[in-house]
Amino acid sequence: MIRRDVLVVNDVGLHARPAASLVKAASSFSCNIWVEAESGRADAKSLLMVLALGVTQGTEIVIITDGPDEEKAAADLAELVESGFPGGT
């Protein structure tokens, strides 16, 4: 299991398009992936659950991965969030 602390830097946080980008990326991995924020924990492969977290710009989240491709998933998803979801806002 890997835990990665990541700061959400894009203007709209994990709303609509950025959340959809995160879910799409997470769904490409076979491991289990969660996003954790102060508001709770969500399955990163579920758009509704990610949106329900209400993550805004400047929020620190934790990406948690567990499974066969957990290292690559954690690295790729952290990079996506830290980059501000280019083309996804």
Q: Per-residue pLDDT tens for 26-68?
A: 999 999 999 999 999 999 999 999 999 999 999 999 999 999 9
Of residues 2, 9, 15, 51, which has the active-site annotation?
A: 15
- Angstrom distance (rounded) from CA 8 to CA 30: 24
Q: What is the pTM of this model?
A: 0.94
Q: Does domain 2-82 correspond to CATH entry 3.30.1340.10?
A: yes
54 is catalytic: no
Edge-to-edge strand order for the sheet containing 40-43? 2-7, 60-66, 32-37, 40-43
- Angstrom distance (rounded) from CA 67 to CA 18: 24
Residue type, 33: I
- Angstrom distance (rounded) from CA 38 to CA 83: 21
For the chain, the average pLDDT equals: 95
